Amino acid sequence: MSGLGKGITAASIGRILKNKGYNITAIKIDPYINIDAGTMNPLQHGEVFVLKDGGEVDLDLGHYERFLNTELTSEHNLTTGKIYRAVIEKERKGDYLGNTVQIIPHVTNEIKERMREVARNSGADICLVEIGGTVGDIEGMPFLEAVRQMHGEEKGGDILFVHVTLVPLDKIGEQKTKPTQHSVKALRELGLSPDAIVARCKEPLLPKTKEKISLFCDVPREAVISAHDAEDIHMVPLLLEDEGFDEYLMKKLHLKPKRDGREWHEMVEKMAKIEKKVKVALIGKYTEVEDAYLSIKEALKHAGIENGCMVDIVWIEAESLEKDPKAVKRLKEVDGILVPGGFGVRGAEGKMMAIQYARERNAPFLGLCFGMQLAVIEFARNMVGLKDANSSELAQTEHPVIDLLPEQIGVEEMGGTMRLGDYEAVLKKGSLAHRIYGKMRIVERHRHRYEVNPKYIDVIEAKGMIFSGRNKNRMEIAEIPSHRFFFASQFHPEFTSRPEKPSPPFRAFVKAMLKK
């Protein structure tokens, strides 16, 4: 079922195999009809993760990139919408030579071709494929049928099925295996037999529970893996190794270890020894669903490990500050303030109240995407004196300090399209941005449409906020040199943060909080 931990399980399997010296890539299959995750509400589906090529994808690809320390592209996320669109386009072009187009073989062939092409183009030794949803979901049937066919087409030992399932506790604390039995039964009716069962449970699986699952699901006892709740997701690969899953995978795939990578183990050991703590207030509009800010949570964690501290997040709903301005006093309790990305007017004024507090109280501040735009608006209003300054996305205003830019010189009408994926920024020598990154040119991922209006740059910089990162007429970084730490980026540095290589702005932000 959704939210069970298939993404973390897949990423952890990838990390285990990477530790053994193998090159791993990954594909996430989402059976929903959407072409991609770009238009989906974070309250329903968690954050939209952005890849280097601009692909807007499921958050599980973020887990893959972080655990495998790799970069993926939009081809690594398959949806029903993508598959059906490709099949219909081929039908319209006459590629099927007049045949009646059907789920089998046309849709299933398209699925198989896409998976094999991604695996082939990646140059990886092993390709992980995570099929989202629940066994029995009507929209997932073509994907399960496609992998059933692949099992017969690939040579023995080249394909392995892992089934992630739930083992709940009843009222008296007994581990119940019936959901797993029924799930495997449903899988078998579709012609698929799991080679291993990863059982999600609150506490470690008891030996008798493992034996029962092994007996009723016809899986070797060594292939029944307890994936009980861990303190932190980074511990899951180690937990699976403790269960002997690494040895079972290697045996079933006829592989031998090329190395015994210890980097992940060392990182987890370092994390376990940390005693210091800092608190950051995250001022958001989707705070009731923490997965809406998953990459930010992980980037703060990576930066904390690097700085030798744990980062506690205080979740503050932006609208709560608008309803009760006195609630801003809560920010006294934290060591830093972070305003993340977002779209639309809801909560914007509350976020600016938090930004003003950070600026006036000299509290470490990190603004991301929309957070940078709001920082510029707040500064224009309260320091430049443009009282009605705003973004043309949010309201009609005499002073649109955030606006759409002309796409080319000579175009009279303002127009813009979504800016997605990797773009370069040139940094100002000697600036905070330059010190943070240690170089003059950087590449980071973007997801926005509106920009800082170049007409207002001079008046803003004259009052003490500088734009220390630029891409031609686009402002990429805003900072206040006189402030303890005030850094805001038009891009999303959280998407490129890795446990082994934390994002530079996040690392510097956590360091500033520690210093405070």
Whether residue 390 is contained in a domain is answered as yes
CA pair distance 490, 468, nearest whole angstrom: 12
Q: Would 157 be classed as within a structural domain? A: yes
The reply to whether 263 and 299 lie within a common domain is: no
Tell whether 363 and 403 lie within a shared domain: yes
Q: Does residue 1 fall inside a structural domain? A: no
Which of the 8 DSSP states describes residue 92?
H
Residues 376/377/379/381 CA torsion (nearest 10 deg)? 160
What backbone torsions phi and psi does residue 359 show, to the nearest 5 degrees?
-65, -45
Cα-only R_g, the chain: 25
Q: Which spans in 254-368 are helix H? A: 263-272, 294-307, 318-323, 348-360
Domains in the chain: how many in total? 2
Last residue of a domain, one of 221, 239, 267: 267
Q: In DSSP terms, which residues pair with 79 in a beta bridge? A: 30
DSSP 8-state code for residue 498: B
Q: Are residues 391 and 430 in the same domain?
A: yes
pLDDT in tens, the chain (516 residues): 778 999 999 999 999 999 999 999 999 999 999 998 888 888 777 899 999 999 999 999 999 999 999 999 999 999 999 999 999 999 999 999 889 999 999 999 999 999 999 999 999 999 999 999 899 899 999 999 999 999 999 887 799 999 999 999 999 999 999 999 999 999 999 999 999 999 999 999 999 999 999 999 999 999 999 999 999 999 999 999 999 999 999 999 999 999 999 999 999 999 999 999 999 999 999 888 888 999 999 999 999 999 999 999 999 999 999 998 888 989 999 999 999 998 889 999 999 999 999 999 999 999 999 999 999 999 999 999 999 999 999 999 999 999 998 753 344 444 457 899 999 999 999 999 999 999 999 999 999 999 999 999 999 999 999 999 999 999 999 999 999 999 999 999 999 999 999 999 999 999 999 998
280 and 366 both lie in a single domain: yes
Domain boundary among 210, 238, 267: 267
Gap between the Cα atoms of 191 and 188, Å rounded: 5
Q: Are residues 124 and 263 in the same domain?
A: yes
Catalytic site residues? 369, 492, 494
With H, G, I as helix, E, B as strand and everything else as coil, classify residue 402: strand
User: What's the rounded Cα separation, in Å, for the pair 75 and 57?
Assistant: 10
Pair (81, 143) in one structural domain: yes
Q: Got the DSSP string for 288-314?
A: TSGGGGHHHHHHHHHHHHHHTEEEEEE
C-alpha to C-alpha distance for 16 and 465, rounded to whole angstroms? 46
Same domain as 223, residue 312: no
pLDDT at 414: 45
The pLDDT value recorded for residue 42 is 82
Q: Which of 237, 166, 186, 306 is nearest to 17 (CA)?
A: 237
SS3 content of the chain, % helix, strand, coil (to 5): 45, 20, 35
Six-digit token string for 325: 């301005």
- Do 263 and 281 sit in the same domain of this protein? no
Instruction: Give a yes or no: residue 384 inside a domain.
Output: yes
476, part of any domain? yes
Find the domain containing 423 and state its range. Answer: 276-515
Q: Based on the fold, state whether residues 418 and 510 are members of the same structural domain.
A: yes
Taking each helix axis as running N to C, give the angle between helix 80-93 and helix 108-122, from 0 to 180 degrees, rounded to the nearest 10: 110
Give the pLDDT confidence score for residue 412 in this predicted structure. 44
What is the C-alpha separation between 85 and 40, in angstroms, rounded? 18
Max alpha carbon distance in the chain (Å)? 75
Q: What is the CATH number of the domain that holds 449?
A: 3.40.50.880
Tell whether 170 is covered by a domain.
yes
Q: Is residue 389 part of a domain?
A: yes
- What's the token pair of residue 2? 């959704």
Do 261 and 299 sit in the same domain of this protein?
no
Q: What are phi and psi of 238, to 5 degrees?
A: -70, -35
What number of other Cβ atoms are within 10 A of residue 101's Cβ?
Answer: 14
Is 174 among the domain residues?
yes
Q: For residues 99 and 243, state if they share a domain.
A: yes
At 268, is the secondary structure helix, strand, or coil?
Answer: helix
The answer to whether residues 371 and 453 belong to one domain is: yes
- State the pLDDT at residue 128: 97
Domain CATH number, residue 237: 3.40.50.300
Q: How remote is the C-alpha of 434 from its chain's centroid?
A: 26
Q: Which of 250, 267, 284 is the last residue of a domain?
A: 267
